[in-house]
Structure 1
Amino acid sequence: MLDESPRICCIGFQKTGTTSLAEALERLGYAVTNINRDVDAALSTPTDDPQAVADRIAIEALKSHHVIQDSPAAFVFQALDRAYPGSKFILTYRPVDKWLKSYEKFFPDENNALRRWMYGVDRFSGNEARYRQVYESQNAAIRSYFADRPQDFMEMDLSGGAGWYDLVNFLGPDLLPRFPHANIGGSKRQTRQYGTGSKTLARRLLKRLAD
């Protein structure tokens, strides 16, 4: 079990670069968890309060991990903020039409308890308007919640060019003890020594997202 230090919560929807972001954080040495299967299994049993079930699983998962990512992180961010004060929240996003196209490609007919809770409908096919509405409204709710807390909240459009250096600057040296180039304003020697690897990783992550 980890201590109660701040965590990193990747609260973007699936197919917005959450996997690429998780890879970057793992590269920094963080333990990353994904709770979608656990929440889906729990919600397969009828419950009067699915939000409380998802919140509990998310909070418990971060007792033994530094980072949470992927669904349903976008729906449990308030509980995580209360449970782990001072944590960093990263909203990955894509323009909604691009997100819908990607979601349709990967999950057109997937139907499970987790998706029914998040979107209020069954599979994506035939419910595109509902998925659009949930994506836009939930992202708006997240932005509103963190509107006055820029030190705790970052948005990343990986498909639009946000990447490695933006992430490092946001997390800051206190949360990057394993990353030798956390001081972006360091010496030219440091930039030469570490900058190439960081830029290479950023390009690889962006290429993967675009595939």
Structure 2
Amino acid sequence: MSESSTPPVPSGRGCGLPYPPKVFGVGLTRTGTRSLTAALGVLGFDVVHYPVDRATYRTLLAGSARFPLLESHDGITDITVVPYYQDLDLAWPGSKFVLTVREEEGWLRSCRAHWERPLPEEAVRSEVHLELQRFLRSAVYGCHAFHAERFRGVHRRHVAGVTGYFAGREDDLLVLDVVGGEGYERLAPFLGVPVPEGPFPHVN
């Protein structure tokens, strides 16, 4: 979908949708978003975790939720879509949203370690990766460096905002604690697919 195009206006899930329902992982960094992405792949959903292409960056700069990669993929996970969950809900009616969460103190420790860890060499060499990372960290967390109390406030406001927005719409939002042990037994029924054999993936 180009940035200038108009999103399709379907009639609803199971009522003539012109596209398969999208899946968006709207959990914050270090809440199991990579594990969710891997699990969605096992369940048959081709979603992209934290895309770092130039077209996605242009879309973010434009303040648009019309990500071009959604033309060929089933969804996006991680903070790329965190600021846009309401826009995506309107642009792609019938979509599913998964809010990954975890215990707050453990999440803060994981974020601190993640922020302090050097970037991989391939990311350092990628201008768009660095630009997109700075944009998203500023947009989501209000700062680029790790700040425990700011992150704590962002975490609480984000969970409250997402759950409040989807209140009464249990078919559209799943709150999933991957780090705490929740997995396919909740995710698969939410997406209307069979529970697969094998363990839930735990990545990174």
- Identity, in percent, stands at 34
Partner of 2:136: 114
Structure 1 position 35, deviation (Å): 4.3
Q: Which residue among 129, 154, 159 is the counterpart of 1:134?
A: 154
**Contact kept? 2:25, 2:76, Cα under 8 Å:** yes
Aligned pairs for 1:15-164 (under 5 A) are 15-38=30-53, 41-42=57-58, 50=61, 52-57=62-67, 60-108=68-116, 112-124=134-146, 127-164=147-184
* CA 1:80–1:171: 2 relative to 1, 3 Å: same
* CA 1:74–1:38: 2 relative to 1, 3 Å: same
Instruction: Give the Cα–Cα distance (whole angstroms) in 2 for the partners of residues 35 and 61 of structure 1.
Output: 12
What letter matches 1:8 in structure 2?
V
**Contact kept? 1:12, 1:93, Cα under 8 Å:** yes
What letter matches 1:168 in structure 2?
A
**What are the Cα deviations for residues 91-135 of structure 1, in whole angstroms up to 9, with x where unaligned?**
1001111111101111137872221121122211xx211111111
What letter matches 1:201 in structure 2?
P
Greater relative contact order, per chain length (Cα 8 Å cut-off, separation 6+)? 2
**Contact kept? 2:65, 2:88, Cα under 8 Å:** yes
**What are the Cα deviations for residues 56-89 of structure 1, in whole angstroms up to 9, with x where unaligned?**
33xx332211121111222211111011101111
TM-score by length of 2: 0.75
What letter matches 2:49 in structure 1?
N
1:6 aligns with 2:21: yes
The gaps in structure 1 that reach 5 residues or longer are 44-48, 177-181, 185-196
Which protein has the bigger helix share?
1
* CA 1:116–1:36: 2 relative to 1, 3 Å: farther
Instruction: Give the Cα–Cα distance (whole angstroms) in 1 for the partners of residues 19 and 82 of structure 2.
Output: 21
TM-score by length of 1: 0.72
When the two structures are aligned, how many residues end up with a matched partner? Answer: 173
**Contact kept? 1:36, 1:71, Cα under 8 Å:** no
The gaps in structure 2 that reach 5 residues or longer are 2-17, 120-132
Structure 1 position 6, deviation (Å): 1.2
